[in-house]
Amino acid sequence: MLTNWTILFASLIYIGVLFAIASWGDRKAERHGSRIRAKPVIYALSLAVYCTSWTFYGSVGLAANSGYDFIPVYLGPILLFTAGYFVLRKIVRIGKTENITTIADFIAARFGKSQLLAAVVTLIVVIGILPYIALQLKAVSTSFNVLVTYPEIIMPAGVAGTPWWTDTALVVALLMAVFSIMFGTRNIDATEHHQGMMLAIAFESIVKLVAFLAAGIFVTFYMFDGFGDLAARAGAVDGIANRFAVDIDVSKWVTITLLSLMAIICLPRQFHVAVVENADESELKTAAWMFPTYLVLINIFVIPIALAGMLLFGNGGVDADTFVLTLPMLAQQEALTLLVFIGGLSAATGMVIVATVALATMISNDVFTPLYLRYWYGDARSDADVGATLLNVRRIAMTAILLLAFAYYRVAGEGQALASIGLISFAGVAQFAPAIFGGIFWARATRVGALAGILAGSAVWVYTLLLPTFA
Alpha helices (runs of H) in 267-333, residue ranges in sequence order: 268-271, 281-297, 302-312, 323-330
Which residues are CB-contacts of 323 (< 8 A; sequence separation ≥ 6)?
60, 61, 64, 305, 306, 308, 309, 313
Which residues are CB-contacts of 301 (< 8 A; sequence separation ≥ 6)?
212, 213, 215, 216, 217, 219, 220
Cβ atoms of residues 250 and 358 within 8 Å: no
pLDDT per residue as tens, the chain (471 positions):
677 888 889 998 998 898 889 888 877 777 665 555 558 899 999 999 999 999 999 999 999 998 999 999 999 999 999 999 999 999 999 988 888 888 999 999 888 888 999 999 999 999 999 999 999 998 999 999 999 888 889 888 777 667 888 888 898 899 889 888 887 776 665 455 678 888 999 999 999 999 999 999 999 999 999 999 999 999 898 888 888 887 788 999 999 999 999 999 999 999 999 998 888 888 999 999 999 999 999 999 999 999 999 999 987 789 999 999 999 999 999 999 999 999 999 999 999 999 998 999 899 988 888 888 777 665 555 555 677 888 889 999 999 999 999 999 988 866 666 778 889 999 999 999 999 988 888 888 889 999 999 999 999 999 999 998 887
Report pLDDT for 280.
83
Report pLDDT for 453.
94
Report pLDDT for 260.
95
Read off the amino acid at residue 164. W
Report pLDDT for 417.
67
Report pLDDT for 375.
74
Residue-wise DSSP of 101-150: -SHHHHHHHHTTS-HHHHHHHHHHHHHHHHHHHHHHHHHHHHHHHHHTTT
User: Cα dist. 395→23, 26, 126, 314, 321 in Å?
Assistant: 18, 19, 15, 46, 32
- Helix (H) or strand (E) segment spanning residue 449: helix 447-461
Q: How many CB atoms lie within 10 A of CB 380?
A: 15
Q: Is the dihedral of CA 392, 105, 263, 193 positive or negative?
A: negative
Report pLDDT for 344.
95
Cβ atoms of residues 150 and 440 within 8 Å: no
CA dihedral of 89, 91, 93, 96, whole degrees rounded to 10? -140
Q: Is the link from the previous residue into 72 a cis peptide, with omega within 30 of 0?
A: no
Per-residue H/E/C for 158-173 = CHHHCCHHHCHHHHHH
Distance (Å, whole) CA 347 – CA 422: 14
Q: How many CB atoms lie within 10 A of CB 33?
A: 8
Query: In degrees, to the nearest 5, what angle opens at C-alpha 93 toward C-alphas 88 and 97?
Result: 150
Which residues are CB-contacts of 18 (< 8 A; sequence separation ≥ 6)?
179, 183, 200, 203, 204, 349
Report pLDDT for 412.
81
